[in-house]
Amino acid sequence: MCAEFCERHNKLKNRIVLVTSGGTTIPLEHNTVRFVDNFSAGTRGSSSAEYFLDHNYAVIFMYRQKSLEPFTRHFTGQQFFDMLDITDNGQSTTITVKPDSVDVFAPILAKYKHARESQMILYMSFTSVVDYMWLLRATCECLTAFEDRAVLYLAAAVSDFYIPQDKMPTHKIQSGEGPPTISLQLVPKMLAPLVNLWVPHAYVVSFKLETDENLLIAKARDSLSKYKHKLVIANILQTRKHRVVFVTPTTSYEVHLSREQSLQGLEIEEPIVADVVLKHSEFININFNTDQRQRGSVVASKCPYFFQ
């Protein structure tokens, strides 16, 4: 499915974004009963995917199974059922949207239908950190052909630690055997091969979450220096829903929502995505101008007298 989706949009010369979203589990057994998880619900990734669609990007939404998804994220828990009425006249049953919910439900449903019917979004799910790594690698293979028209927006909360397959017990850990000793290993860093080998021409955006403001910019810059990608969106745990910092190798600036904007229901992902789209356009233009200059140099070297 991913290969067909990418082939279609590459032929159309569309821009494309891979949005990763949600957390990854660390299974403690091969026949998994217990696992280590994190708090990520997929809010940033699922909302960002909608805003990329608004900017006419084809979207590959790679998400943790059962985490939030674009469009359906607006109606969680009992909220969706509270918007519906059911009428049974004995011969047929009719389900309708309550009049006071139509203004909320209709525009979101219309956007969802348009995205699906125009084949602008592809959903792919993962659960464990190993699932995530394999799926990310395979998806990057499909994105290679887009070169600088591809954005990788890596918003998933990927585990830093895991248990290798050969160190994992086959069956459920038994509590009767006493407290278990669990040895976690570092998860291999995917950014280095992703940036340098898998999609070397793509615009790659990573996220950095910290709890200490004093570490935020330094850790983001360290990531850029180490992995050589284009942008880190840095945020503090307590303020992540209304403030982030865009960090590039040479600049940093804040994107935030005012209190009034937050009360009006605006989401910070809207200006985040708008700025990423702008930076992606600048990136494409720089590459285009560089290619033009290089081609001009080649022509000049082949025809030296023509340019004298």
Residue 22 pLDDT more than 90? yes
Rounded to an integer, the average pLDDT of 91-104 is 93
In a domain, 93, yes or no: no
The pLDDT of residue 58 is: 99
pLDDT tens digit sequence for 273-291: 999 999 999 999 998 877 6
Q: Read off the pLDDT of each residue in 200-205 and give the average, rounded to a whole number.
A: 98
Host domain of residue 200? 2-70+113-302
- pLDDT over 80 at 148, yes or no: yes
The per-residue pLDDT for 293 is 64
Tell me, yes or no, whether 105 lies in a domain. no
Residue 89 falls inside a structural domain: no
DSSP 296: H
Q: Would you place residue 305 in the very low, low, confident or very high pLDDT band (cuts 50, 70, 90)?
A: very low
CB crowding 193-230: b at 16 or more within 10 Å, else e = ebbeebbeebbbbbbbebeeeeebbebbbebbeebebb
Whole-number Å distance between alpha carbons of 222 and 160: 17
Which percentage of the chain shows pLDDT scores above 90?
73
Domain-embedded: residue 238: yes
Q: Is residue 96 part of a domain?
A: no
- Does residue 256 have a pLDDT over 60? yes
Q: Is residue 79 part of a domain?
A: no
Determine the Cα–Cα distance for residues 9 and 64; give it in Å rounded to an integer: 24
- Within a domain: residue 92? no
Question: How do beta strands 93-97 and 161-162 pair?
Answer: unpaired
Of 2, 19, 16, the C-alpha closest to 153 is 19
How many domains is the chain partitioned into structurally?
A: 1
CATH code of the domain covering residue 207: 3.40.50.10300
Strand extents, DSSP E, the chain: 16-21, 26-27, 35-36, 58-64, 84-88, 93-97, 121-126, 150-154, 161-162, 185-186, 203-210, 231-236, 243-247, 252-256
The residues pairing with 63 across neighbouring beta strands, listed in sequence order, are 21, 125
Summarised one tens digit per residue, pLDDT across range 206-252 is 999 999 999 999 999 999 999 999 999 999 999 999 999 999 999 99
pLDDT tier for residue 302 given thresholds of 50, 70 and 90: low
**Does the pLDDT of residue 295 top 70, yes or no?**
no
Give the residue with greater pLDDT, 172 vs 139: 139
Question: How does residue 118 score in pLDDT terms, banded at 50, 70 and 90?
Answer: very high
Provide the whole-model pTM.
0.89
For residue 100, being part of any structural domain is answered with: no
As given in the structure block, the two tokens for residue 2 are 């991913």
pLDDT at residue 294 is higher than 70: no
Question: Is the pLDDT at 178 greater than 90, yes or no?
Answer: no
pLDDT averaged over every residue in the chain: 91
Q: What CA–CA distance (Å, rounded) separates 43 from 67? A: 8
